[in-house]
Amino acid sequence: MTWKNSSSILSLLILLTVLSGCYYERSGATGWAYNDAANGGFEKSTFFEQQTGPGLILVEGGTFTMGQVEDDLMGSWDNSPRRVTVSTFYMDETEVTNHFWLEYITWLERIYGADNSEIVERALPDTLAWREKLAYNEPLVKYYLRHPAYRDYPVVGVSWRQANEFCKWRTDRVNEGILIREGLLVDNPYGQSDVEHFTTETYFNNQYVGTGEVEGVKSYGQSEYRDISLEDGLLLPDYRLPTEAEWEYAALGLIGNSYGELIEERRTYPWDGHYIRNDELRSKEYGNINANFVRGRGDFMGIAGDLDDFGDITVNVHNYAPNDYGLFNMAGNVNEWVMDVYRPFSSLDNEEFRPFRGNNYKTKVLNSKGDPDEKYEYVVYDLNRIGNFLSDYRTEKGKGGRGLGEEDENLLENVEKKVEEALEKSRDNQEEESMNTMDEAIEMIEDSEALIAADLRKGLSENIIAVPGDMKYRDVTLEENLGRSNYRVADNIDYRDGDTYSSTMYNQPEDASSNSSRMYDYGNSTLVNNESRVYKGGSWNDRAYWLVPGTRRFLDERKSSSTVGFRCAMTRVGAPVPFQGQ
């Protein structure tokens, strides 16, 4: 090697050393540099893995036998055993508590209380769910939700729909907190309004512009700084209800009962063994009840001086030992809502991978430029349901010769006229004008001194389907999916079990029969319809049979109970196991 060559190599090494400080990673597809303004500024953000959201536990996925594992005492035959696979996901460590719900209501009051208080009313749990005709539960009606003695007890009296709205709110508050933590937004609780408040979707779609301590993250495009985007991976996926498969898988906690790919002993409950009491001889909990449930006829808590579960009703969400995933009360305390629509034969119909029944596909409403349409600036009501409510209300009031007083009759008649006017405008595709008419109906109710005013207001508030600040969505259409083979229509809830083609009317046109007059004759021979949602887990008011994760029951998604609560879940994106750093 000559000196000249040695000098050239040395010069090259020096050059590489100098350039290492401004080295650009390059695309394996094109060879173009990432994060280089000279190359157009296409970015590759630093990302390791999804951070764990507040209150969540990682549930590592896998395969398991989903369904009934003991005698079907109820004779339902609605959950035959089947091997399925569940992806890794996150789940709340405990049920959602009364204190969490009061935090939610307080936020709603601050944002919507002044101009749209019916939105706050929509979120109030049904505390009257505690009442029983032959029991004295009035103290629970008055105190259970708001008294600090119950703040860490699970919230009850919430419908499936209310639980979903809480999940949406929680997603936005957690992601807003992340942006505040990073200096991209400033904490501004009193500067937000019913229309101008942070939601994850409006932020991603540039329809919420807040101020931050920094101008944004560095951009390599035409502008120097930009807002966070989905591609950065900073904000979390949505909080949501778990699917039935996810809930059942998490409840069993088989990760603590396996050796390699072998399950050492099949579990009946979320703990080892087949007994309700702790049977670990070396455990200080030996002999104790493992969950909060009814041990026998009239025995909700045991004998004074030796209470077996220390709870006559629900208990503190941390009262019992967690299962092997670290999840508390996956049996007993309260039943829990899951996402699925109930069908007796779901276990036979659903896919083997991430099984779920309840898909209703939607897409954002776009404007003429192909961009997401402006967010709602008004409350959106389900007019058809409100019409049915008013009709049923009038019918019930007329029974038994009760009838309506003159002032009540005038108010009901005027509200009915407003709803019919709103329906006419809706049929003419005048949605905003239609909802403005409903605002007039609300104002009419609020200004009235009729005895039925509170009833009518509640009936309208329970049928709100979108609120100011929400992005606009619509069902996907058959026409836009003509070339698809995996799905064609938006509503796939009753696919293969209730739709036209699975019924005796398979050879009749789709509009020849409704859901209620095909396979499931709702209200006459069955309570199953497309709004019947599954709940699982057993409660403080149930026998041990319902503590088995494979058992399932259902309730209308608009109804609630003193024995049903919920916990949130979150999708895990990327690898099913956490990053193992070197």
The per-residue pLDDT for 10 is: 44
Model confidence over 106-129: pLDDT tens digits?
Answer: 999 999 999 999 999 999 999 999
Amino acid identity of 160?
W
Q: How many CB atoms lie within 10 A of CB 375?
A: 19
Task: State the pLDDT at residue 400.
Answer: 62
For every residue of 191-257, which 3-state class applies, written as one string?
CCCCCCCCCHHHHHCCCCCCCCCCCCEECCCCCCEECCCHHHCCCCCCEECCCHHHHHHHHHCHHHC
Alpha-carbon distance 518 to 507, whole Å? 12
Asked whether residue 3 carries a pLDDT value surpassing 60, the answer given is no
427/498 same-domain check: no
Total count of domains within the chain: 3
Q: Summarize the confidence of residues 541-560 as an average pLDDT.
A: 95
Higher pLDDT pick, 290 / 119: 119
| pLDDT greater at residue 380 or residue 218 | 380
Task: Phi first, then psi: give them for residue 494, nearest 5 degrees.
Answer: -100, 25
What are the φ/ψ torsions at residue 153 (nearest 5 degrees)? -95, 155
Q: Is residue 485 part of a domain?
A: no
Evaluate whether residue 386 is within a structural domain.
yes
Q: Which domain holds residue 516?
A: 494-529
Q: Please list, in sequence order, all residues whose beta carbon lies within 8 angstroms of the beta carbon of residue 20, skipping any fewer than 6 positions away.
A: none
557 pLDDT higher than 90: yes
* Beta-carbon count within 10 A of 29 CB: 6
Question: Which pLDDT belongs to residue 512?
Answer: 44
With residue 444 as reference, give the H or E element that holds it. helix 431-447
- Do 501 and 575 lie in one domain? The reply is no
CATH assignment of the domain containing 82: 3.90.1580.10
pLDDT of residue 256: 82
pLDDT: which is higher, 22 or 328: 328
Q: Which pLDDT score, from 0 to 100, does residue 239 have?
A: 98
Q: Comparing C-alpha atoms, which of 191, 194, 190, 139 is closest to residue 439?
A: 194
Q: 64 has which bridge partners?
A: 84
Whether residue 337 sits in one domain with residue 190: yes
Is residue 423 domain-shared with residue 310, that is, in the same domain?
no
Asked if residue 69 has pLDDT above 80, the reply is no
When mean pLDDT is compared across 21-25, 48-52, 204-208, 364-368, the lowest value belongs to 21-25
Following CA atoms 201, 202, 204, 207 in sequence, which dihedral angle do they give, to the nearest 10 degrees?
A: 170
Place of tokens 């009962």: 257
- Asked if residue 4 belongs to a domain, the reply is no
Domain check: are 78 and 119 in the same one? yes
State yes or no: pLDDT of 85 exceeds 80.
yes
Q: Are residues 335 and 455 in the same domain?
A: no
Residues 516 and 577 both lie in one domain: no
On whether both 61 and 118 belong to a single domain, the answer is: yes
Instruction: Assess if residue 348 is contained within a domain.
Output: yes
* pLDDT-based confidence at residue 6 (cuts at 50, 70, 90): very low
- Contact at 8 Å (CB) between 66 and 248? yes
Shared domain for 198 and 285, answered yes or no, is yes
Residue with the larger pLDDT of the pair 471 and 24: 471
Does the CA dihedral 406-408-412-414 come out positive or negative?
A: positive
Strand (E) positions, 75-231? Answer: 82-86, 89-92, 217-218, 225-226
Indicate whether 18 pLDDT > 50.
Answer: no
| CB contact at 8 A, 534 and 241 | no
Q: Are 309 and 452 part of one and the same domain?
A: no
Window from 94-108, 388-402, 515-529 with minimum mean pLDDT:
515-529
With beta carbons less than 8 A apart as the criterion, state whether 46 and 34 touch: no
9 has a pLDDT exceeding 80: no
User: Does 196 score more than 50 pLDDT?
Assistant: yes
Domain end residue (candidates: 448, 466, 484): 466
* Residue indicated by tokens 């390699």: 260
440-443, long-range: CB within 8 Å, 24+ apart, which pairs? 441/414, 441/415, 442/118
Residue 546 lies in a domain: yes
- Same domain for 411 and 316, yes or no, is no
Query: Among residues of the chain, what percentage have pLDDT more than 90?
Result: 66
Residue 452 has pLDDT above 50, yes or no: yes
**pLDDT of residue 352 exceeding 70:** yes
pTM: 0.92
Query: pLDDT band at residue 511, thresholds of 50, 70 and 90?
Result: low
Q: Report the distance separating Cα 382 and Cα 86, nearest Å.
A: 35
In this structure, are 176 and 310 located in the same domain? yes
Q: Categorize the per-residue pLDDT at 384 as very low, low, confident or very high, splitting at 50, 70 and 90.
A: very high
pLDDT of residue 66: 93
Model confidence at 401, pLDDT cuts 50, 70, 90, reads low
Residue 6 lies in a domain: no
d(CA 43, CA 65): 43
Q: Is 369 inside a domain boundary? A: no
Using CB atoms within 10 A of its CB, is residue 39 exposed (0-12), middle (13-18) or buried (19+)? Answer: middle
Q: Is 364 within the bounds of a domain?
A: no
One-letter-per-residue 3-state SS of 268-309: CCCCCCCCCECCCCCCCCCCCECCCCCCECCECCEECCEECC
Alpha-carbon span 443 to 71, nearest angstrom: 55
Which of 53-62, 148-157, 188-197, 261-270 has the weakest average pLDDT?
261-270
